[in-house]
Structure 1
């Protein structure tokens, strides 16, 4: 993990977004020898990687530990929604079952059978479950982690993959403690449960277990946000971005993290749009492909949770009428995106653009060396940045309307 994190940090600090330092040098070289047409091929390849890279998350644990409910929560779904994982009360999962994310179908959460059953003994589990296909593993328990859970975590470590121990249904534990009638301190009870889990895992041979206490019915409490951050932090660049964009908009911090990830894509998308074709706007030379811009805006809107389906899911999760959430949205970008809307956005961008090129090119990877300050790229970059800012403001309004909190 340490080696991977160091490599990812080098990529990030080079300010090259999803590109490694070698790829950045190659991009510059291609531009210098063949112009933007050659550089465009490398940019398009990276965008294709963003669209097509798969993220496979394995969720395992004994029957009744809350795996299905957790899988639904991670995808922002209720148990009655289309595509929701079936919550079982008796027989557990008999084979790996994949559940695709409703917005990003290249993200798939896999419900694995519990380890150590007669059909899947611990000795054959790794081979039967095809561990190599999964990016990381979440081991769920509703009470205490078992000997089989520990063996599973050790097998995962030998494959140099990450595992996370999730203690589910923590709200039920706290409710039971409250009912006992004695002096109750939630923080102290949570610490007791966490220390108990960590101590048992350490005694079983797991040196530094990462344990998260969660309720799948209230993701803004307990350790759910900490779990999400841990998963993000351990993933490489592109998969990290995909994971962040897959999160339900549970709080303002998630919205801001999504904005940060999409901002990394803006310069690449502007590069492609700015060289494909020219669309005349009266008084402004906007060299861009409107079809590309329309698709980008629709995608950004979906990732920021402002499409109808996402708003419906969030309203259901928050227990609010979807009309309450839609009522706070004030943007031309949530309806049908037409060339006329693009042109109007371009007019607004042009006013800023012409008044002064205040963009600091060093925040845009590579651009400072391969684009002139007066290029159509810069116009398109400003337009898409404005789009992202608008969607972010409205996504935050929706979060506040849904949960009444930051």
Structure 2
């Protein structure tokens, strides 16, 4: 059978969708359907959705006082220092315990501010045990100048324990501004490369010959290596952890919105399965039926992950230094308020669903799941409505980001 480019892309998508499940789980889905039908399979999918919602991501940030840890933690959560829940900036470090800061919309994502190690004689191994290193998925080692002896000791100990770590050089904008005051005219790219080369050389001498160094400004996260750092962290996580990390990224660019879209798209079939496994509720105006609570709950979840809820829009407006009303003016009105069946009807998401055949649907779905549920009306209805809703929400989020940061 020949597939169009659209179907080829969908097949690629389905391969990544199934990565949320082990081979054993995929086999069990098929077996459960053969023995118990949709209802039995629905139980496994419901448990998987619950497990995904409970997935935790814990990121440790270690650096001396004054290196910009708090500003970095705020930037990773899309916050300014005066936003509610922001880490305090500019205070003298006195705590001896890790301090956790949850993501404003995804509380299972936490950034941990680790206190300094103390003197150079302090044991890195003892420090990591005291900091309960096993709970962290990876470590950010941050400095606003040269990485010091304690930084190197800690990195070596983290490496021995088999954990990931990343060297981050902060406040790079301050370095460039200082150079401009001294030299009047500088080549920014050349100066950045000098800083990077010198830092990499020193780390190689300290025993890290292949280390990457990310040069960032937490006050200007759209500049320098901030995007590359986030992409590097994302690529080193497994599929489940990667999912929550991407959804927790602040909307700083259209490219980030697109990555969120691709991630959320992989969840749609699970919501549809839950709808198909439960009793269908007729909806006036639809020729098919779906479970309304699941449908609306999924759309609200999409909106929050794409930073289109009121609180997220206000944070974005604060960061962009624009009136929040200017950002909201680019969004379709029904998306800003309560998501209801009337709102879904007004946006036309249901119309698309009833015009798509089950045959077309099974071509762009996970092979083992598609063969089971392809003809289910409630399942098919929910799937197509959520696909249309997610596309609409993503387009709105892209417009908001473009207005906020003046990008094309």
Would you call these one fold, judging by a TM-score over 0.5? yes
Q: Does 1:349 pair with 2:352?
A: yes
Q: Compared with structure 1, are the counterparts of its residues 27 and 133 closer, same or farther at alpha carbon in structure 2 (3 Å cutoff)?
A: same
What is the aligned partner in structure 2 of residue 260 from structure 1? Answer: 262
C-alpha distance in 2, partners of 1:375/1:364?
Answer: 17
Counterpart among 245, 265, 274 of residue 247 in structure 2? 245
- Quote the offset at 1:346 in angstroms: 5.8
Q: What is the alpha-carbon root mean square deviation over aligned residues?
A: 2.2
1:289 maps to what in 2?
Answer: 291
Change (3 A) 1:391 1:85: same
- Write the distance in 1 (CA, Å) between the matches of 2:387 and 2:126: 51
Deviation at residue 25 of structure 1 after TM alignment: 1.6
* Pair 53,365 (structure 1): closer, same or farther in 2 beyond 3 Å: farther
State the shift of 1:285 in Å: 4.3
- The 1:365/1:245 distance shift into structure 2, 3 A limit, reads farther
- Structure 1 residue aligned with 2:31, among 25, 29, 32? 29
Equivalence for 1:312: 314
Distance 1:250 1:267 in 2: 28
Q: 1:7 — aligned with what?
A: none
**Residues 45 and 158 (structure 1 numbering): CA distance in 2 closer, same or farther, change over 3 Å?**
same
Match of 1:195 in 2: 197
Distance 1:120 1:293, change over 3 A: farther
Give the unaligned 5+ runs of structure 2: 1-12
Q: Which moved more, 1:90-99 or 1:162-171?
A: 90-99
Query: Equivalent residue for 2:6?
Result: none
> How far off is 1:238 after superposition?
1.1
- Looking at structure 2, the residues matched to 363 and 116 of structure 1 have their Cα atoms a distance apart, in angstroms, of 54
Across the two proteins, how many residue pairs are aligned to each other?
Answer: 396
The secondary structure found in structure 1 opposite 2:360 is coil
Quickly say closer, same or farther: Cα 1:365–1:88, change in 2 above 3 A: farther
Please give the alpha-carbon distance, in whole angstroms, between the structure 2 residues aligned to 1:114 and 1:185: 35
Matched, 1:335 2:334: no
Change (3 A) 1:44 1:16: same
State the Cα distance separating 1:14 from its structure 2 match.
6.4
Question: For each residue in 1:66-121, what CA deviation from the matched residue of structure 2 results, as whole angstroms up to 9, or x when unmatched?
Answer: 00000011111111111111113433543210001100000010000112349965
Measure, in 2, the Cα distance between the counterparts of 1:54 and 1:27.
25
User: What's the TM-score, normalizing by structure 1?
Assistant: 0.92
Matched, 1:48 2:50: yes
Q: Deviations over 1:268-309 (max 9, x none)?
A: 001101221222235644332101111111111000000000
Q: 2: distance between equivalents of 1:247 and 1:405?
A: 18
Could you tell which deviates more after superposition, 81-90 or 11-20? 11-20
Conservation of the 8 A alpha-carbon contact between 1:349 and 1:379: no
Q: Deviations over 1:178-209 (max 9, x none)?
A: 12235411111111111111111110011321
1:146 partnered with 2:160:
no
How do 1:165-204 and structure 2 match up within 5 A? 165-181=167-183, 183-204=185-206
Residues 182 and 120 of structure 1: is their aligned pair in 2 closer, same or farther, counting only changes over 3 Å? same
Partner of 2:114: 112
Q: CA 1:40–1:230 in structure 2 vs 1: closer, same or farther (change >3 Å)?
A: same
* TM, length-normalised to structure 2: 0.91
2: distance between equivalents of 1:369 and 1:185?
59
The aligned residue for residue 128 of structure 1 is 130
- Unaligned ranges ≥5, structure 1: 1-10
Cα distance change of structure 1 residues 12 and 361 upon mapping to structure 2, 3 Å threshold: closer
Residue in structure 1 matched with residue 9 of structure 2 by the alignment: none
What are the equivalent positions in structure 2 for 1:53-64 lying under 5 Å apart?
53-64=55-66
What's the CA shift for 1:369? 2.0
- Identify the residue that residue 403 of structure 1 maps to in structure 2: 405
> Secondary structure in 2 aligned to 1:44?
helix
